[in-house]
Chains A and B, each alone.
Chain A
Amino acid sequence: MKLQYNYAFFDEGSKREIRRATLKAVAIPGYQVPFASREMPIGRGWGTGGLQLTLSLIGNEDTLKVIDQGSDESVNAVNIKKLIVNTTGAPVTEETKEATLIQSRHRIPEEPLGSDQILVLQVPYPEPLRYIEPSEYVTKRLHGDKEYSGAWLMLFEQIMKHGKMATGADHAVFVHDRYLMAPSPIPRFDNPKMHDSEALILLGAGREKKIHAVPPFTKVESIAFDDYPFEVEQFTDKSCIKCGATHTFMDEIISGLKTVHQCNDSSHCLSRMNQEAV
């Protein structure tokens, strides 16, 4: 009994429902819209939120790019791409510029995105206040009241304890002066790319069943104090061993006895190398 799946896996009703939640998310930037997250043929926590967004949006004119922590070739990126291609036949690219729809886990590409592109980010924890308040019932109300003192206090406590903000990836942002939003675990390095972005950025959390969005040209500010400004990860004096870039987010690679650095965004690195080769 061999079964054929519908175009883009879901039945049309499911896709429509996801699109409706997406429209609401775009209309209320940074607000987490609950949606009926479906069970997917890939694991919950493996990008099912992003995948549902991608499948609900993809059409015949789209070119798809999928990256996982900067790499087009990472196991999960390959797997997700395979599912989308098998159920849609969509053309795939690794060139950021060529893609109309980019699904990414935890990176915003180095190449600036344009107005004809949509970036879909996979989100493990959509609630920026979860570390402060375990209850969903309560955090929903805190957002309603714009009551974010817990988030400020957490930063303040870090400064008291460590003399600095000690956030890693997923440093929370204020979206258009209203909602505090988890940008998904992108490195702090990528936070500024959300501000005034030309491309629509959609964020999907499959397991937690939430969709949120940063529409184009929206003000996005990383939470910080005036006297303790927000800082991105520093790669001072480091350059990519392959393409020589000095301004990108880099992976640390232990090669023999010494540590070298390499661009994390593999497709950006490759196109820089190719430009030099010309």
Chain B
Amino acid sequence: MGYVAVKGGTQAIEASIERLKFERLKGQEVLDVEAIKSGMRGLIDQVMSEASLYDVGLAAIAIKQAEGSAEEAVFLLRAFRSTLPRKHVTRVADSATAEVERRISASFKDVPGGQILGASTDYTQRLIDFGLLSETKADALNFLSNYRSEDSTSTDLGALPKVVDYLREEGLLVLFEDDDQEPDDVTKMNLEFPTSRSTRLQMLTRGQTGAVISLGYSALRTYGAAHPTVGELRIANIPLYIHHPLFEACDEGEDYYIGDIKVTEVESFITTEQKNQLGKTDIQFSIGYGVAFGQNETKAIAMSILDKALQMKDSPLPVSNEEFVLYSIDTVESTGFISHLKLPHYVTFQSKLDSARKKV
């Protein structure tokens, strides 16, 4: 009979996992996934955006499993996303022809097509509605049957012109050639510096909401002229199409429609100085671009600031340093590495101790 390893570790871990389940269920309520889908739009949108996986149903299960922790829910979805083969790339999607739910401009009062407020907390006072304590399903159904949707509007919500087009027509926008290069896929490569714009935009849109907002804010409140004007913020349902898998060259009529995604898209105007042909300096506008799955307005605006800041190579702003921003902004990377500090560091600490004790 020899010595055997103590199995305490495994048992303790099993007990801890059991305890986690207990904490989720101890209130004797089972959270319905349908209820999460229907009533937790904000959290679902945030989680889908940070996970870069657009699936409301999966997000709802992840939120249930994570007991509402966004960090944990995103982690679950990202790990699941890793196991999915990528079979298709959609055709380029155009938000100009998408069905708009909300569309505002802070630059022009009278934009063609008008300001469409849609659903937003912007115009509410943040007072806790104690009435929600006793809200019943009957109340909800009653409200719904009386709710008059604004379908009667004469505006064609699928054909609202973009605000940038107006500036472009006026010649006030720095113009660029269309760049239809295949975008880089940050989930299939390691970052190489300097990065391409498609790399930066992907990293930003997957970024942790709080981190994107904080870093964007840091550019806004310090010196430097990164104060943008929101040219247009639109929330739209964009239809996605893929090529016919066998007939790549077919025209668009042969494409398959695979569903809609709801996105928040922001185009911010930032003034830049351009030398004209006479050698004088003109003031023109350039665009910072932000886009995020779901209704994620603050994040999308902050992203548009960061997009612009990252293009200002000689700027003294900390957020013009792409290694700093792109290496710090991902939720799975930051939360994973911070939380690893809870792991044992017996060996490494012993090595440090040895170094500290070693007398010369």
Contact = CB atoms under 8 A, between A and B. Distances in A.
A249 B336 CA distance: 28
Contacts of A266: 5
Interface residues of A, number: 72
A75 B13 contact: yes
Interface string B334-358: 0111111001111110111111001
B254 interface: no
Nearest to B51: A39
B350 A9 contact: no
Interface string B1-41: 11111111110110000000000000000000000000000
Contacts, number: 167
Given A11-B83, A233-B350, A164 B340 contact: no
Contacts of B333: 44-45, 207
Contact of A78 (B10, B82, B354): B10
A69 B351 contact: no
B187 interface: yes
A230 interface: no
A137 B2 CA distance: 55
B139 interface: no
A252 B192 CA distance: 42
B82 A39 contact: yes
A73 interface: yes
B332 A39 contact: yes
Nearest to A87: B83
Contacts of B348: 69, 106, 168-170, 185, 187
A251 B79 contact: no
Interface in B71-106: 75-76, 78-79, 81-85
Contacts of B354: 168, 233-234
A41 interface: yes
Contacts of A186: 347
Nearest to A69: B347
A151 interface: no
Given A11-B83, A69-B347, A270 B339 contact: no
A107 B9 contact: no
Given A73-B9, A74-B343, A187-B351, 7 more contacts: A43-B337, A75-B13, A135-B193, A168-B355, A185-B348, A251-B350, A277-B2
11 contacts: A11-B83, A14-B82, A40-B79, A40-B82, A43-B335, A43-B336, A105-B343, A168-B348, A169-B348, A274-B2, A278-B2
